[in-house]
Structure 1
Amino acid sequence: MTDRTMTESAPTIEMSAWSGRTDPEPDSLRWHQAIRPLDDLARPAGAALLGFACDAGVARNLGRPGAAGGPAALRRALAPLAWHRQGPAYDAGDIACEGDAMETAQARLAERVADLLGAGHLPIVLGGGHEVAFGSWSGLARHLEARYPDNRGDTVPRVGIINLDAHFDLRDPAHVRSSGTPFAQIADACQDRGWPFRYACLGVSRAANTRALFARATELGVLVREDREIDARRLDGIVRDLQRFMARCDHLYLTLDLDVLPAAEAPGVSAPAARGVPLALLEPLIEAVRDSGKLRLADLAELNPDFDIDNRTARAAARLIHQLTLDVR
């Protein structure tokens, strides 16, 4: 466990985004009243929100830039929500990407995530493009390497990645690393370490992923559920599939690309979904992960306030964080 305080190289914490109404009744706290700056990693463990202000990966992937503004928009949307947590929550600041320096930003994110995990916090990273995933996972990997020093046989960590997304993001990183390559990069990193690659991608749009990507997912043994499969009638079965997947894992990393939601619910993303999976059907999946006791890290990606309408996307993302952190200590 680390007990170092924040240094000049650590993210800047700007608490001015946390504002909103207050209520006179007792026990009526909202997020903006309860959250505190994480100015010292020795604080009691809680949920730690860390921004990743970067859309270099989206630009490289020929998407709509603007996701660098996602962390600030998400904080503003989360601030007025009612506070129902039992444990504390902290704002750990932002990692900002300078220009196209995506890899540098990912490395800084990985370092900060590892620090937060070492201090016992649950990091929740606010994207940013989905290139955030490689930085998030790299931080978890760095943290786990210290706990599994032998790194062989039964002593390797069994990390399950659960991605709620319209896209596999398994493009070949040999061409260009972008928001479309993080899970291919993670698969390669797992192979280099001798770790199993356990990946579930739920909400995939067949119209938005080529046959080559579906073939790559099959080759890697990915648990795939398409958007058209996730409906109210089949939801219980999909939750059971997810629980079986989680049973084979010791640690879980949840990553949520907001373009998994229908465009009407999430217009402010790089690639709005023609169909998508409604928020009401995503929440039971997120709650299953939350309640597993194995969640170590989560992130949300692709919130682009430049294209949002009435803050719909930001509000949906805030609602998901609210659900994810309920009863998490």
Structure 2
Amino acid sequence: MTPDQWHAADMTLWQGRSDTGEQGDTRRLFNIVQSLPPQAMKDKGPGGKVLVGFACDAGVQRNQGRPGAAQGPMAIRRALAGLPAHAIGQVYDVGDVVCVEDQLEVAQDALAYAVSQVLLHQGLPIVMGGGHEIAWGTWQGLQAHLDAVHDTGRVLILNLDAHFDLRTSRPGSSGTPFDQIAAATRAAGGVFQYACLGISRLGNTASLFEHAEALGVQYLEDTVMQERHLDQVSDRVRRLMADADHVYLTVDLDVLPAAVMPAVSAPAAYGVPMSVIETIILQVRDSGKLRVADFAEFNPRFDQGGRGARVAARLAYRLLETPGT
């Protein structure tokens, strides 16, 4: 990767209130996050949680959405910085993969490399986007790592999203990543295990539902993912993970109601409650099968009073915590 593609961590983003005059553990995330220069990844295995930014608008623009998600990683870091460091161990920030103009495929290749390197050194990559084109890069990184270590285990892609993102048009965009993954999986003779929870019937055409059915996609609509259905949803997630060796969790923040998450390309009129989304994230985190996660579509340009940034940071924080806490 060239310097244009990968920018080292900006540690000036990691700052916040200091309570050093108080008793006990007063650390916040800005006190414990460490910079890991990109060039050091081959030589130093972090062995902890590793934040990777994907500063990209190209996929959203290709999909006729609202640009601005390229600033998402920076805003999420700022919102994370001042949170108290409860039950959090090593956290590294390796900086951002940056998409230059419309060079989306180049940026996705760079992201795949970053993810594979973190996995090589036994880290858990937590990728912050950027549009949902992030998924094609994240998945390629996971698959490259599994291929390198000759791991043929079953991979479940668990997408919390209002949209299938199974468009078949090319070139790729924020609307195509899971169709791209399906095609690559089939070409390699593998099994496409994709579950999409939170689907909006009003956000997907009949054609997309038909394509999902043809690909064997398992999904739940947003109407059956409300708090009153939480036990059934959790059981569904448990059964999905039971059939997998590895889980790739991808969270499109537009799965949340617009009142909770206004700062996305396509705000949800209905959406899935924050409590349900957080419960699923914790369930996946504690499963022992989570290998990589990403957060997509956060767009600070349309945030209201930093509300969306705080929501994105809270969900990312849950993955930084030690499992079981």
Fold similarity call, TM over 0.5:
yes
> Residue 256 of structure 2 aligns with which residue?
261
2:14 paired with 1:18? yes
Preserved contact between residue 202 and residue 226 of structure 1 (Cα < 8 Å)? yes
Shift of 1:10: 4.9
For the residue of structure 1 that corresponds to 2:228, the secondary structure is: coil
| Partner amino acid, structure 2, of 1:33 | N
Counterpart pick for 1:176 among 161, 171, 179: 171
What is the rounded CA distance, in whole Å, between the counterparts of 1:202 and 1:213 in structure 2? 15
- In 2, are the aligned partners of 1:86 and 1:328 still within 8 Å (CA)? no
Q: 1:271 aligns with which of 262, 266, 271?
A: 266
TM-score by length of 2: 0.94
2:225–2:272: 8 Å Cα contact kept in structure 1? yes
After superposition, what is the alpha-carbon deviation per residue over 1:263-296, rounded to whole angstroms, capped at 9, x for unaligned?
Answer: 1111110001101112111111111100110000
Distance 1:108 1:117 in 2: 14
How far is 1:44 from its partner?
4.0
Measured after TM superposition, the shift of residue 87 of structure 1 is: 2.1
1:74–1:315 Cα contact (<8 Å) kept = yes
Alignment match, 1:218: 213
Runs of 4+ in structure 1 deviating by more than 4 angstroms, as ranges, are 6-10
> Counterpart amino acid of 2:116?
A
Deviation at residue 176 of structure 1 after TM alignment: 3.2
Counterpart CA distance in 2 for 1:221 and 1:147 is 28
Q: CA deviation at 1:147?
A: 2.0
CA RMSD, aligned part only?
1.6
Q: Which runs of 5+ in 2 are unaligned?
A: none
For 1:221, the aligned partner's letter is: G
Residue of structure 2 equivalent to 1:100:
102
Task: Tell me what 1:301 maps to.
Answer: 296
Rounded Cα–Cα distance in structure 1 between residues aligned with 2:209 and 2:46 = 43
Gaps of 5+ in 1: 1-5, 149-154
The amino acid of 1:83's aligned partner reads A
1:66 corresponds to: 68
1:137 to 136, 139, 144: 139
State the Cα distance separating 1:311 from its structure 2 match. 1.0
Q: Which residue of 2 aligns with 1:151?
A: none
**Distance across 1 between alignment mates of 2:127 and 2:234:** 24
1:205 aligned residue: 200
Structure 2 residue aligned with 1:157, among 148, 153, 159?
153
Query: Partner letter of residue 232 of structure 1?
Result: E
Deviation at 1:222, TM superposition (A): 1.3
Assess, with a 3 A threshold, how the Cα gap between structure 1 residues 321 and 312 changes in structure 2: closer, same or farther.
same
| Separation in 2, partners of 1:43, 1:139 | 16
CA distance, structure 2, for counterparts of residue 108 and residue 237 of structure 1: 38
Shift of 1:194: 1.2
Matched, 1:227 2:229: no
- Classify the secondary structure of the residue corresponding to 1:234: helix
Q: What residue number does 1:87 align with?
A: 89
> CA deviation digits over 1:28-84, x for unaligned, max 9?
111111110013332441000000000100000000000000000000111111111
For residues 236-264 of structure 1, give each alpha carbon's deviation from its aligned partner in whole angstroms, at most 9, with x where no partner exists: 11111111110111111000011011111
2:33 paired residue number: 35
Contact 2:45–2:118 (CA<8 Å) still a contact in 1? no
Residue identity (%): 53
Larger deviation, residues 37-46 vs 56-65: 37-46
CA contact (8 A) 1:97 1:105 kept: yes
The answer on whether the counterparts of 1:201 and 1:224 sit within 8 Å (CA) in structure 2 is: yes
- What's the CA shift string for 1:6-46, capped at 9, x where partnerless? 99675322111111101132201111111100133324410
Q: Which amino acid aligns with 1:119?
A: H
The corresponding residue for 1:313 is 308
Counterpart pick for 1:51 among 50, 53, 64: 53
* Aligned partner letter, 1:143: H
Counterpart selection for 1:147 from 139, 145, 149: 149
Give me the whole-angstrom Cα distance separating, in 1, the residues matched to 2:228 and 2:131: 32
For 2:92 and 2:119, locate their aligned partners in 1 and report how far apart those are by CA, in whole Å: 13
Aligned residue type for 2:81: A
What is the alpha-carbon distance in structure 2 between the residues aligned to residue 279 and residue 92 of structure 1?
A: 28
Q: How far apart in 2 are the matches of 1:169 and 1:7?
A: 29
The amino acid of 2:216's aligned partner reads G
Which of 181, 200, 207 pairs up with 1:186? 181
Shift of 1:145: 0.4
Q: Is the 8 A contact 1:157 1:195 kept in 2?
A: no
